[in-house]
Structure 1
Amino acid sequence: MIDDVLVGLGTSPWALWAMFGLVLADSLLVLVPGEIAVTAFGALAVTVGSPPLWAVIVLAGLAAFTGDAIVYILGRRVGMRRWRWMRTRRVAGAIEWAGGRLQRNSATVVFTARFIPFARLAVNLTAGATRVPAPRYLTMVGIAAGAWALYQAAVGAIVATLLPGGPLAAVILSITVAVLLGLIVDVGVTRISRGRDERARSGHA
């Protein structure tokens, strides 16, 4: 029965726009499951045949770019301290992290942050507030958003291709794999950043 629901979801004309809305909201609110939605629709594209995988990737990338661009513009207009959520410990820490790295290697930071929710928000907000030139920055954001959408949808599509069974099994396993990969990326980036910070402090000592 759940498989039938997923088939109906995949073939619904509103399905892709629902995914678009989730990804857009995820760029702005962080806690919305945008990654999970893209991975699930990537799995449905293979098991159900609808929506088309290319459409999942294109609309997810467009939504990610739009959300990141809105946060960048927000940073330019209101700065990084005006609202309470900007001053929470996690967001403030991420903003401090982003500020130092944007000056040194903005392309690497933009690509890395696109895969880490709080870092993504902080980097876009900080880039806007520190007046990183819009044409160059938004070009990097667009490329990163496209790569992110391709990756998330591909996880779902690959798992669904390899896994025998209906849409439910494919969606559940692909989401699990995507979450685990996200945690691995998050931990890896954190360790690399700490190592760089420690080397930098040692060099200045």
Structure 2
Amino acid sequence: MSPAVLADGWSGTSAIGYPALFGGVLLGSVIPIVPTGALVGAAAAVAITSGELSLPLVVVLSAVGALVGDLITFGVARIGSDAAVRWVSRGQHPERLEAARHRFTERGWLLVVVGRLLPAGRVPVLLAAGALRYPWARLTPAAAVACLLWAVVYAALGVATGGLFDDPLIAPLLAAVVVLLVGAVSSLVSTLLRRRRERLPAGGPR
């Protein structure tokens, strides 16, 4: 990214947009009350329709904000490991926790990446990783890759939907709505699949 792009990206009203994007993604990554994907999609739509924001900067700042938030969540789980273990172990057999520890040892990076991309998968994975003392040296690069992929995916959704309209007001609204719908559908499908897996042992042959 050239210095000219950076200079242009931080001029004018975008000086407010970038901190708002970064802060919103960071807050939503620590306290999941902000629809971070919708923020990224809306910012990407603004970038391609109004030119007020730089699309590469939108992706970078979103990824960095998400990464900082994920590391904070993981750090809290590690610092308060006893409380985190109790939270993770609710309704779980010790054998399951041991299996989770083994999975993190063998392919923890994959669980971190998938957890960030799947709806409602990020927080449980990070809490489990912290409670199971997953190493920082392995968690950080995996989380960085996951957050970058996440930012690219939601920015692409914003670009695709925002490109339908040239209006800088309609485009981000449409992008945010589409991202929220995609997230809701994905969450519903994930919930239905999980419930189906939970019912299979009970209904299967004994």
Q: TM-score normalised by the shorter chain: which range applies? A: 0.7 to 0.9
Query: What amino acid is aligned across from residue 58 of structure 1 in structure 2?
Result: V
TM-score normalised by the chain length of structure 2: 0.76
Aligned partner of residue 121 in structure 2, secondary structure: helix
1:1-205 residue pairs with structure 2 within 5 A? 11-79=13-81, 81=83, 103-104=102-103, 106-116=108-118, 118-161=120-163, 163-199=164-200
Q: Structure 1 stretches of 5 or more lacking a match? A: 1-8
Taking the aligned partners of 1:62 and 1:72, their CA distance within structure 2 comes to 15
How far does the alpha carbon of each residue in 1:150-188 deviate from its partner, in whole angstroms, 9 at most, with x for none? 111111111111x13411111111111101111122122
Structure with max Cα Rg: 2
Which range is displaced more, 194-203 or 57-66?
194-203
What is the distance in 1 between the residues matched to 2:123 and 2:166?
37
Deviation for aligned residue 1:33 = 2.7
* CA displacement, residues 20-72 of structure 1 (integer Å, 9 cap, x when unaligned): 11111111110023222111100000001121101000110011111101111
Q: Unaligned regions of 5+ residues in structure 2, if any?
A: 1-10
Identical columns (%):
31
TM norm structure 1: 0.77
Contact 2:27 2:69 in 1 (8 A): yes
